[in-house]
């Protein structure tokens, strides 16, 4: 932390964990992990290797799926909602020929803005359901990995599919 001399309030210098100079709007596949604030288990429970979603978990699942409708250049590949985190693969495709930047609200949004929109939409719906306006649901940042080849893609899909079976040993499991 460093002090800002103009107002004497501490400010945080956060370094970006994104790949410097990389265009996060270009076609490709990205593995994403989002974690709840304080790793709170809001989205359900794991029983016998199966995720049993809470109403909040269902909201998160539905919101993730809706990304495809909201952004026509985006495809949701494999994903899993876990008790306190989400793993998913988002695929940026070439913008369809009918894609109108004006009608869609502007240019193709970079990955960070897509993740931010997902967090905002799901948080609003969860807080509306719980009667907790303004409550924080997600940690500030997210993990991303650019999927570089089919072998990686297959490995990550398998990791996502098997995540509930590994919950007892998961680093995100409190």
Class of domain 24-169: alpha beta
Q: What is the pLDDT along the chain (174 residues), one digit of tens a residue?
A: 444 444 444 444 444 454 566 666 778 999 999 999 999 999 999 999 999 999 999 999 999 999 999 988 899 999 999 999 999 999 998 766 665 555 555 678 899 999 999 999 999 999 999 999 999 999 999 999 999 999 999 999 999 999 999 998 877 777
HEC states along the chain? CEECCCCCCEECCCCCCCCCCCCCCCCEEEEEEEEEHHHCCCCEEEECCEEEECHHHHHHHHHHHHHHHHCCCEEEEEEEECCCEEEEEEEECCCCCCCCCCCCCCCCCCHHHHHHHHHHHHHHHHHHHHCCCCCCCECCCCEEEEECCHHHHHHHHHHHHHHHHHHHHCCCCC
């Amino acid at each position: 932390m460093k002090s800002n001399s103009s107002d004497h309030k501490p400010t945080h210098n956060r370094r970006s964990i994104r790949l410097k100079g990389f265009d996060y709007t270009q076609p490709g596949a990205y593995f994403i992990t989002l974690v709840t604030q304080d790793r709170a288990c809001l989205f359900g429970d794991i029983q016998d290797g199966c995720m049993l979603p809470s109403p909040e978990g269902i909201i998160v699942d539905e919101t993730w799926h809706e990304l495809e409708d909201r952004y026509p250049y985006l495809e949701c590949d494999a994903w899993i909602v876990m008790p306190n985190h989400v793993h998913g693969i988002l695929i940026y495709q070439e913008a369809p020929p009918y894609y109108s930047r004006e009608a869609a609200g502007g240019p193709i949004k970079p990955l960070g803005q897509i993740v931010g929109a997902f967090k905002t939409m799901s948080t609003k719906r969860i807080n509306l359901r719980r009667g907790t306006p303004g409550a924080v649901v997600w940690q500030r940042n997210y993990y991303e990995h650019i999927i570089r080849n089919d072998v990686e893609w297959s490995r990550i899909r398998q990791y996502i599919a098997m995540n509930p079976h590994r919950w007892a040993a998961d680093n995100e499991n409190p």
